Chains A and B, each alone.
Chain A
Amino acid sequence: MKEFKQNDKIELKVGGNITIKRKLGEGGQGIVYLVEMNGKQYALKWYTHVCTKDFYDNLDNNIKNGAPTDSFLWPQFLTVWKEKRFGYIMALRTEEYKDFSHFLLAKVRFASLSAMINAALQISNAFRELHRKGYSYQDLNDGNFFIHPTSGEVLICDNDNVAPYGKNLGIAGKCRYMAPEVVLGKTKPNADTDRFSLSVILFMLLFNNHPLEGKLIVAVPAMIESMERKFYGSNPVFIFDPKDNLNRPVIGIHTNAIRRWPIFPQFVKDAFIHAFGSEGIHEPQKRKPENEWQKLFVKLRDQTVKCSCGNETFINPDAADSSCLNCNKSLGKPLQLSIGRSKVILWPGQKTYSCHTKSASDHYREISGEIIQNKVNPSLWGMRNLSSDTWIATMPDNTQKNIKNNEVVPILKGVSVMFASGVKGEIVE
């Protein structure tokens, strides 16, 4: 069927009409238009190929259940059928959000390490919430994400192929992003296979390279279907596999992976070595659950500080000295807040969150405290209470102080802080 033109009207399943304003873009599955309804603008995704009733019903169901989180650009209303096709409308994303493929194509870059980490956190969290609601993604690839380069906020699109566990819509995704057992046709997509896809996306987010594409891949002249099934299905080899160097990144080609792998702390590398090692590839149930990825990125955020050169770098909490990755300046061994299993590096601008200071909380966005510098004497640092709870700080000489909202705990070795409901942190070297 022909494309819609400006001012064409389409009826919605619930009644009422939307008016086509202009075409926004096109993909393999459909065309996206800017539309208006009752004075408000939306995006209409219209499928260009003949659709099935199953697909329609699944979308209808998803619409009724609502989005798992705000990060999902979720279908809001279905249209009626037209020539065996249909569409749905969803919120418009603003232009500051860029396609993930633009990051991969180096058309856009993250403003800071924090933005990159935030994006990784959000994507991990989004998948966690999706799975918690009993859905699985089934067609994860680089076209699904839009990311704000400065904040790292993420919008997840193309939620058409989200379906409850165990239900399949006939869409299975691209070899490059799908779990090996799906590539080989052994299983249909599900939450375990989603977790593999998530680890691929996270790797590409951090390293701007595919985890399974190194020397072996470059040596394949024609990447035909049988070769894809081999390298993404039956014989995948991680480019940084410590036991197998056959697929190492190639100098001059896999530049990003080569530059960036050394930068990240070992615990991050270990997570990817596991994800693309024997267990991650062959044992779907042993893949890292999304909340573990979330904790990993919270930990990475805890170790991210801003150097005086203006760029961010990682501090190793166990090393006697850390150097700025950008300017090489020595940053010494800053004090840390040891709280539960976390070690939050205490550095101006660093924040604590509810996941640190509240018991049994995994809220990684709710800020509870912030490290500040004394304006008069910048060598004095403190931790400002940004939560609504009153903290109790115990000084090295055992005196205690109540620290209410907006008040400050001095950062000194040996100070301990009782946060809400029994969570205790201590400032250590």
Chain B
Amino acid sequence: MGLLDAVSIPRRTMVLFFLVDTSGSMSGDKIGAVNEAIREVIPEINDISSENADAQIKIAVLDFSSGAHWIYDKPVEADQFVWNNLEVGGLTDMGVAYKMLNEKLSRTEFMSDITGSYAPAIFMMSDGAPTDDYKKELEELRKNKWFKVGIKVAVAIGNDANKEVLKEFTGNEECVLEAHTPEALKQMIRFASVTASQIGSKSSGVGIGGADDSSTKADDFTKQLKDFTAENIDPNDVQAGW
């Protein structure tokens, strides 16, 4: 190897998780919009990752209906991630999803890259209410240190989605978006994924005030989400769509 040849500077990994409700009620244009949006956002995530000297971004997808299952058995780099359309059918075992997420949010599981990780970003989307006993699993998940420090965002798809449950997941109401049309859903998926990736995969901002009142990445994300919501969410959509 010549003097001027180099290997890449070692980078941490940021994992972007998608938790997708694939229960029966998601059929039709709801799952259509989700499939299209995630398929389209992956190349953008890859761009952010490939230009980023702080971190690489990997993606992990869990779909849940009756039971839950990981699309890949470990997080995959954005440029290697092949999206196959998710199919729908069954119930909404959110509790099982939380349990499986909790298991993988661990240094010995999905957060195991040797150069270390940044806090994950976790994006949950659902159109209904949990059909299993999810509270216990959520309580356990909320004790998980990776979960605590992660950026969390949720999209309530349509009127039947239980926003309270999603608020419990994100921990704050500003990070729960509501989508009532396929266009809105795609826009939200794109914005939230790209923004969470941009913020989550970089060294933290130092903040301006004292060390105590500098904002966290989650705060930065919440603020950007608020601005996005204020500018892009059309209240009339609620009547027009799901």
Contact = CB atoms under 8 A, between A and B. Distances in A.
Interface residues of A, number: 65
Nearest to A233: B211
Of the candidates B2, B115, B146, the one having the most CB atoms from chain A within 10 angstroms of its own CB is B115
Interface string A216-239: 011111111100110011000000
A222 B149 contact: yes
A109 B6 contact: yes
Contact of B6 (A49, A183, A208, A222): A208
A176 B7 contact: no
B240 interface: no
Interface string A76-116: 00000001000000000000000111111110011111001
Contacts of B52: 101
A232 B211 CA distance: 12
Contacts of B209: 185
B53 A175 contact: no
Given A185-B212, A221-B107, A326-B3, A175 B9 contact: no
A349 B53 CA distance: 35
Interface stretch (B35-43, B134-142, B162-170, B200-208): B200-208
Contact of B203 (A113, A174, A222): A174
A378 interface: no
Contacts of A232: 203
A190 B78 CA distance: 38
Contact of B4 (A116, A218, A222): A116
A166 to B, nearest CB: 14
A49 B114 contact: no
B205 A224 contact: no
Interface stretch (B58-66, B116-124, B153-161, B177-185): B116-124
A174 B4 contact: no
A106 B3 contact: no
Interface in B180-239: 198-199, 202-214, 216-217, 224, 227, 231
Given A105-B53, A224-B149, A254-B10, A174 B206 contact: yes
Contacts of A184: 211
Nearest to A149: B4
B51 A99 contact: yes
Given A104-B9, A113-B4, A222-B116, A28 B202 contact: yes
Nearest to A210: B9
A110 B4 contact: yes
Given A208-B6, A208-B9, A256-B6, A175 B203 contact: yes
Given A218-B114, A223-B118, A175 B206 contact: yes
A170 B8 CA distance: 32
A204 interface: yes
A325 B111 CA distance: 40
B12 interface: yes
A220 B116 contact: yes
Contacts, number: 138
Q: Would you call the interface of chain B mostly helix, strand, loop, or mixed? A: loop
A173 B206 contact: yes
A420 interface: no
A130 interface: no
A44 to B, nearest CB: 19
Interface in A242-257: 253-256
A174 B214 CA distance: 12
Contacts of B173: none
A172 B203 contact: no
Nearest to B223: A49
A112 B146 CA distance: 44
A101 B53 contact: yes
Nearest to A188: B208
A178 B115 contact: no
Nearest to B48: A26
Contacts of A111: 4
A168 interface: yes
A49 B52 CA distance: 21
B116 A49 contact: no
Contacts of B202: 28, 174
Interface of A: 1, 27-28, 49-50, 83, 99-106, 109-113, 116, 141-142, 168, 170, 172-178, 182-186, 188, 204, 208-210, 213, 217-225, 228-229, 232-233, 253-256, 259-260, 263, 311, 325-326
24 contacts: A1-B231, A27-B198, A28-B202, A99-B51, A105-B50, A168-B208, A172-B205, A173-B205, A174-B204, A175-B203, A176-B54, A178-B206, A183-B211, A208-B9, A218-B114, A222-B117, A223-B118, A223-B203, A224-B119, A229-B211, A253-B10, A253-B115, A254-B10, A255-B6
* 5 tightest A-B CB contacts, nearest first: A176-B203, A174-B203, A101-B53, A185-B211, A185-B210
Given A172-B205, A311-B2, 15 more contacts: A172-B208, A173-B206, A175-B204, A185-B207, A185-B214, A209-B9, A219-B116, A221-B107, A222-B116, A222-B117, A222-B118, A224-B118, A224-B149, A229-B211, A326-B3
